[in-house]
C-alpha cells in the first residue's frame, strides 16, 4: 500500500508545459512555484518510503572518462576512475582504443563500461551525429556494425544514438523519417545481442539545429516512427538549458528513460557550481527506485592534476560516493 501511494505521488507531481524553449540565462529554472510544488512531492514520497521501508534501488554513478580526468591520456583514465572509487565508466567514443585493450583496462581496474555513443560522423569538423541525414545511411549502418563489434568485446550493454544537426533548408519530417529507419536497423542488429539503444535530447543553445532538443521530441519521434524498445537518454544539463524542469519529465517518463547524465548549469561543471537542484532530483530518483546509471558527464571546474577528484566533493555533500548505490543518510 505504501508503494502504491509513493508511485501515485510521483505520477501526479507538477509538470511543465512540454514545448518550453526559454533559454536558461544563469540557469533560471522554469518557475519557482513548480519547483516548490515538486519539492513538496519529493518530501512526501520520501517520507512514505521511510515509513514503509520501501526505499528502492538507488542511482549508480558512472564516470564519463571522455570529460573527467583530462590531465591523463585516455587509457590512464580507467585507473583514475577506479582510484576515485567508481565501479562504472562511460565515454563518448571509444573507437580509437582497440576493443580488446579497452576490455583489458576494464577488467584490470574492476570497471564496467555502461554506455557510449554510436559513431557520429566527423566530430572534429562539427558533425554531431548522422542518424537524421538521408545521404549518410550507409555510413550509419557501418557505424552500427563497428559499435556492435566493439561492444561484443567490451561488454557494454547500452549505446546512444545522436540524431545530428538538421541541414539548412532540410525538411524536419523527412529527417525524422530517415532517423526512424536508421533506429529500426540499429535496434534489429543490437537487440539479439542484449544491447539496448537510447536516443539523447541535446539543447539547441550549445548545438544549434540539433534535430531533437527535448525529451518530448525524442519520444514523439520514437512513437511516430514506431521504434518500440528504444529509450531516452536524459541529460539534466540539456534539460535545464532548454528551460525545462527535470522532475516533471522524470515523473511522467521514467519507464522510458534508459540512461541519465548530469552536469550543472550554467557552465557544464560538477553539481554545486550552478543552479540545478541536484539534491532534490537525486532524492526523487531514490524514492522512485531508479536502478539505472547516472553518468557524470561534466567538465571539471578546476583544471590540472587532481581537479576531477577535488570536484567530486559534491557527492559527499549530497550523501553519495562514486561507487555507492544510494545516499549514506
Catalytic residues: 200, 297
Q: Which ranges of the chain does DSSP label H, i.e. alpha helix?
A: 2-11, 32-52, 76-84, 99-108, 137-154, 172-190, 215-224, 236-241, 246-253, 278-288, 307-311, 313-317
For the chain, how far is it from start to end, CA to CA, in angstroms? Answer: 24
Among 319, 282, 289, which residue's Cα sits nearest to residue 49? 289
How far apart, in whole angstroms, are the C-alpha atoms of residue 247 and residue 16?
Answer: 9
What SS3 class is residue 200?
A: strand
How many residues are present in the chain?
329
Phi, psi of 165 (to 5 degrees): -90, 135
Amino acid at each position: 500500500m505504501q508503494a502504491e501511494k509513493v508511485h501515485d505521488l510521483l505520477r501526479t507531481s507538477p509538470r511543465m508545459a512540454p514545448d518550453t524553449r526559454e533559454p536558461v540565462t544563469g540557469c533560471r529554472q522554469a518557475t519557482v512555484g513548480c519547483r516548490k510544488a515538486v519539492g513538496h512531492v519529493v518530501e512526501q514520497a520520501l517520507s512514505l518510503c521511510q515509513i514503509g521501508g520501501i526505499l528502492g534501488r538507488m542511482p549508480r554513478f558512472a564516470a564519463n572518462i571522455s570529460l573527467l580526468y583530462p590531465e591523463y591520456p585516455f587509457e590512464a583514465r580507467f585507473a583514475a576512475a577506479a582510484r576515485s572509487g567508481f565501479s562504472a565508466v562511460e565515454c563518448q567514443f571509444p573507437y580509437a582504443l582497440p576493443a580488446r585493450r579497452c576490455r583489458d583496462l576494464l577488467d584490470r581496474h574492476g570497471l564496467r563500461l555502461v554506455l557510449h555513443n554510436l559513431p557520429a560522423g566527423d566530430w572534429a569538423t562539427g558533425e554531431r551525429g548522422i542518424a537524421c541525414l538521408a545521404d549518410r545511411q550507409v555510413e550509419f549502418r557501418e557505424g552500427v556494425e563497428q559499435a556492435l563489434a566493439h561492444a561484443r568485446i567490451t561488454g557494454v550493454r547500452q549505446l546512444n544514438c545522436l540524431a545530428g544537426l538538421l541541414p539548412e533548408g532540410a525538411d524536419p519530417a523527412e529527417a525524422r523519417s530517415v532517423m526512424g529507419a536508421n533506429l529500426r536497423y540499429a535496434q534489429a542488429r543490437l537487440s539479439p545481442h542484449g544491447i539496448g539503444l537510447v536516443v539523447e535530447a541535446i539543447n539547441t543553445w550549445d548545438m544549434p539545429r540539433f534535430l531533437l532538443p527535448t525529451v518530448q521530441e525524442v519520444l514523439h519521434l520514437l512513437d511516430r516512427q514506431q521504434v518500440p524498445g528504444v529509450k531516452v537518454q536524459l541529460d539534466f544539463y540539456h534539460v535545464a538549458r532548454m528551460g525545462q524542469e527535470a522532475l516533471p519529465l522524470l515523473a511522467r517518463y521514467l519507464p522510458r528513460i534508459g540512461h541519465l547524465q548530469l552536469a550543472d548549469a550554467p557552465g557544464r561543471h560538477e553539481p554545486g557550481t550552478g543552479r540545478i537542484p541536484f539534491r532534490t532530483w537525486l532524492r526523487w530518483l531514490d524514492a522512485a527506485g531508479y536502478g539505472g546509471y547516472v553518468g557524470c558527464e561534466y567538465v571539471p571546474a578546476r583544471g590540472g592534476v587532481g581537479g576531477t577528484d577535488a570536484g567530486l566533493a559534491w557527492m559527499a555533500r549530497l550523501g553519495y560516493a562514486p561507487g555507492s548505490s544510494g545516499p549514506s543518510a
